[in-house]
Amino acid sequence: MARRSKCKVCHARGAEVGKDGRCCGCRMALWATQRGMMYGSLMGRLYQAGVDPETLDVPDLPPVRDMRKHWR
């Protein structure tokens, strides 16, 4: 994962942000939603399996779209 200044979704500063523009928490939350699970259930399963979510590569997540309104 590349180190960038902040997540494009939750705007957490200093987080490990992946190539899709999300931090680990946002990436896992979207992945859980796409699989029809709750975030806590997914994280519990990962914990039981001994998988580190920071190193997990999540397939097929769309990049973050910039939906901000620019008042210029």
Q: C-alpha dihedral over 30, 36, 39, 41, to 10 degrees?
A: -150
Q: What is the pLDDT of residues 6-55, one digit of tens each?
A: 888 888 888 888 878 888 899 999 999 999 999 999 999 999 999 998 88
Which structural domain range is residue 39 located in?
A: 24-52
pLDDT at position 57, please? 82
pLDDT of residue 44: 95
Say how many domains are in the chain: 1
pTM for the predicted model, two decimal places: 0.74
Q: How far apart are CA 16 and CA 2, in angstroms?
A: 7
Q: What per-residue confidence (pLDDT) applies to 2?
A: 52
Query: Does residue 47 belong to any structural domain of this protein?
Result: yes
The separation between CA 59 and the C-alpha centre of its own chain, rounded to angstroms, equals 11
d(CA 69, CA 27): 24
32 inside domain: yes
